[in-house]
Structure 1
Amino acid sequence: PMINRRVTITGKVQGVSFRKATFEMAVRLGVFGYVKNVDQDKVFVEAEGNADAVFKLIDFCHHGPENAEVEHRMNSATILVTGACGQIGSELVMALRARGDNVIATDLKVPSGELLESGEFQRLDVLNKNSLAALVSKYKVNQIYHLAALLSATGEQNPELAWRVNMKGLRNILDCSVELGTKAGGGTTDYAVEIFFEALKHKKYNCFLSENTVLPMMYMPDAIRGTIELMDAPDSNLSIRSAYNFSAFSFSPQDLAKCITAEIPDFLIQYTPDFRQAIADSWPASIDDSFAQKDWAWKPAFTLEEMTKDMLSNIVLRDEI
């Protein structure tokens, strides 16, 4: 599996070519982040990506074209693992600790041996929301691997307990994240929303997918209308009793950028693919909605160009954007 690492690099340099070369190398390696000049002779790099790529970037900076005085600091995560004594959890905790992360292992039972000796352990019942929140707050946790659950055999014997542990435990993890202000993880298609806000506010956008990555998309008004139309369709027209696909259009980041440029001529986009690129590459480029078209006359109202104009005209820029 791909292991991501984060690094902060600072260096004293002469001129701006080091900054430019570092940025170009980061893009070439697929490392996500930014490079900026702190003052006239200092450069600051904040980068995240595949471990091998990050270490290559560090090596490049240390042996850069200008022999800059460079220092780097790996930014390890503080990770909470629930169900740490289980088959997966026990292996995961050791793997995370081996790469330098600060791991808080938790479980109802206390482990022995290497798992206990290699780092912090706290007893935790995931059904106790207050205890969970206290641990996350105390250790300033920024990642959670939630593995606490009852397996199938035990769950069949005690379905009520299985429901509480497996569902209520997950709910407590999610509620705790919301209450402590944890930023939600990004989705593979999030760029298609972010790009409009960045275009209006900064007239530029750094996309985490490559320019030619085509994915199926739909504008929200069409999605809502299509859902209602399906529910209102005569029962006799519906040939499928499981689920319908319905789609609108497929486009790439480059396609969307061209539509935005038609409305905002000085808009600029650059492409810095990160781990989400591999996910997007595994997805289909289009969705077959022929049954929806045939059974209940589905047809999207918005084209890509129409959606772009509507988004740009209706977005209200808020202070937090």
Structure 2
Amino acid sequence: MKKIMVTGASGQIGTELVSRLRQIYNTDQVIATDIKKASTQGASGPFEILDVTNSQAMYEIANKYQVDTIIHLAALLSATSEAKPLLAWELNMGGLLNALEVSKTLNCQLFTPSSIGAFGPTTPNNNTPQETIQRPTSMYGVSKVSGELLCDYYYNKFGVDTRGLRFPGIISYITPPGGGTTDYAVEIYYDAIAKGSYTSYISQGTFMDMIYMPDALEAIITLMEADSSKLKHRNAFNVSAMSIEPEMIAAEIRKHIPHFKLAYQVDPVRQAIADSWPNAIDSTAAKEEWGFNAEYNLEKMTKEMLAHLSIKFAG
């Protein structure tokens, strides 16, 4: 990667990824784009307004800056996609197709994230393999499986250097999440500091894979810099740092905030999505093919989340 365009740069991943990329590759080499400009982006580097469903606009920006890499993050997340399925298909698939076409035309590397949402209720629940049954029951999952196949097609048919990760829930203290099923795992830390209690919309005992944001960012960068000849799976590597359920997070929080209370008010829509996902996925292929390694476990992440959020709320 030398000159990088990021779509969806104002989102949960994009906000932090742009900052990290600019630290590594130089501010002027990373072009942030989104349908709106986040206040945090200010004058920190190149920014362009972009609706990713507008193929011509995407091409013109990529060509203007002569980018060699597109990191395509613009998409609706799982719960929002279920509420607005037609918009989810138009944005998630239309935007990706445009990014692939621009990458093909300008000979760019392309990263786009998939998700554990690409799995479904008939997928093996534990130690979910890299290659397995994928029959998701949500529009988000349908778009992610379709995206994986589309990226494979553009690699095999046109030689586009497509790469991707099946992300689990991503936990961060910097940017709030935006409509995902795993958002509870971020909200619980915010409410622990702000209120000393949290009411979870996901039921007790519901295990899902998670990863702390610094590990997620490092995974994207490491994969994009990896030797192409060593990548067998390319577009949908399983990655996870931990498989956890609400009570486990609460127990870790109580080590720092002993009076913390956890209650439940289950959201049927998000619970149904969570129940259709695996309990724990196998990240062996990512480790073997490009050296994926998560630094943070639940204990280390919780300590850091609470420390940073305490400062954030105090300010």
TM-score surpassing 0.5? no
TM-score (norm 2): 0.42
User: Which of 1 and 2 has higher RCO (CA within 8 Å, sep 6+)?
Assistant: 2
TM-score (norm 1): 0.41
